[in-house]
Amino acid sequence: MAELQFREALRAAMTEEMERDENVFLMGEEVAEYNGAYKVSQGMLDQFGPKRIIDTPISENGFSGLGIGAAMMGLRPIIEFMTWNFAFVAFDQIVSNAAKMRYMSGGQLKVPIVFRGGNGAAGQLAATHSNSTEPFYANVPGLKIVAPSNPDDAKGLLKSAIRDDDPVLFMESELMFGMKGEVSDAVDYTIPIGEARIAREGDDLTIVAHSKSYWLAMEAAEELSKQGYEATVIDPRTIRPFPFDAVIDSVKKTNRLVIVDESQPFGGIASEVGFQIQQRAFDYLDAPVQRVTAKDVPAPYAKNLIEAWMPSVDDTIAAAKRALYVN
């Protein structure tokens, strides 16, 4: 084990996979000469050279398409978006080509590509730079979506993503790149895509939260514990496939569910989880499923407003208390 930053864990995963498999390469804006916008790929140009660490112009649609073509021809590209907010211009490539090529070619072509980059709101970056983009892509069958909450998961899941034969969207939180944590240095350390992590166990309610929201959930759970309510906290780690069974098993014990999700409420991840749970565990619910999400307006710029817009620990505690009927 070594203590690594989130960005270092990602770098370790990419480096190890590039050492292991010469078909793996990294492409994106400023990934080479500048060492990455968030210094995720620091030093990788020196190690792997300009044929495998490739700087691109500002042209997400173009280099995403290039990556998809390369993947169809047998390479295993990692496409870095400086932020998922910029990937909207590559939306057609991801949704129409990456996601559907295997299906539309009757399995003759596969697209083993990873798209990764910063996701979600990060302080005062205003409306166009503060999207949590999971739900946009989660709506598309054919894409896998991974959103880890800590450095260890980031490494193990990114390695699995690179080895996956289907397109994987890997979503990192811009505010978590500097987060430190113990990371396994075991050889071939991978975490399977689609398995939840039970971070905390309690009988009174279940809180589901991924990526940055996971930390809100844990803080809320600690505070609730001081008030006498023990929460199970589940980090799904993967948005698609979503590990519903873990949530259902927990709801069967706790009878109450709160979902914390930084994306927008309407048609969001929390909505889907809430729906699936009411359908598959209806008889075990003792209270309506609660969700804590971004507010249903564009992200504001002002500091106090963006803080009010994003889910908070207080919001999570309040939702938990509604589910517990102790308000």
Partner 1 sequence: MAIAVEMPKMSDTMEEGVLVAWLAEEGDSVSAGDVIAQVETDKATMDLEVYDDGVLLKKVVDEGSGVPIGGLIAVLGKEGESADDVLAKYGGSGDGAATEAAPEPAATPEAAPVSEVVAPGGDGAPTAADGGRVKASPLARKMAEEGGIDIAALSGSGPEGRIVKRDVEAAMRGDAPAAKAAPVAQPLAQPVAQPVAQPVAQPVSAPAPVAAPAPTAGAEDQKLSQMRKTIARRLAQSKFTAPHFYLTIDVDMAEAMAFRSRLNKLGEAQGKAKVSFNDLVTKACALALRQHPAMNASYLEDEGVMRYHREVHVAIAVAIDEGLLTPVVRHADRKGLSEIAADTRELAGKARDRTLQPQDWEGSTFTTSNLGMFGIEEFTAIINPPNAAILAIGGIRDVPVVQDGELAAGKRMKVTLSCDHRAIDGATGAQFLNTVKGYLEQPMTMLL
Active site residues: 60, 129
CB of 319 to partner 1, least distance (A): 14
* 186 lies in the binding site for partner 1 (CB under 8 A): no
Q: How far is the CB of 325 from partner 1 (least distance, A)?
A: 5
Query: For the chain, how many residues are written?
Result: 327
Helix (H) or strand (E) run with residue 273 in it: helix 269-280
Residue 165 amino acid letter? D
Helix (H, G, I), strand (E, B) or coil at 38: coil
Site string for partner 1, 33-72 (x = CB under 8 A): ----------------------------------------
**What is the CB-side half-sphere exposure of residue 113 using CA atoms within 13 A?**
30
| Residue type present at position 173 | S
* Shorter beta-carbon distance to partner 1: residue 189 or 284: 284
With CB under 8 A as the contact rule, the residue among 66, 95, 285, 305 that binds partner 1 is 285
Phi, psi (rounded to 5 degrees) for 291: -135, 150
Q: How far apart are CA 174 and CA 176, in angstroms?
A: 5
Stretch 241-270 residues interacting with partner 1 (CB under 8 A): 255
Query: Is the Cβ of residue 33 or residue 286 nearer to partner 1 in the bound state?
Result: 286
Tokens describing residue 159: 């390695």
Backbone dihedral angles phi then psi of residue 82, each to the nearest 5 degrees: -55, -40
Q: Give the count of residues interacting with partner 1 (CB under 8 A).
A: 8
| Selected binder of partner 1 within 92, 286, 307, 314 (CB under 8 A) | 286
Cis peptide before 241 (omega within 30 of 0): yes
Q: How far is the CB of 326 from partner 1 (least distance, A)?
A: 11
In the bound state with partner 1, the residue whose beta carbon lies nearer, of 20 and 322, is 322
Residues lying near partner 1 in the complex (CB under 8 A) are found at 255, 282-287, 325
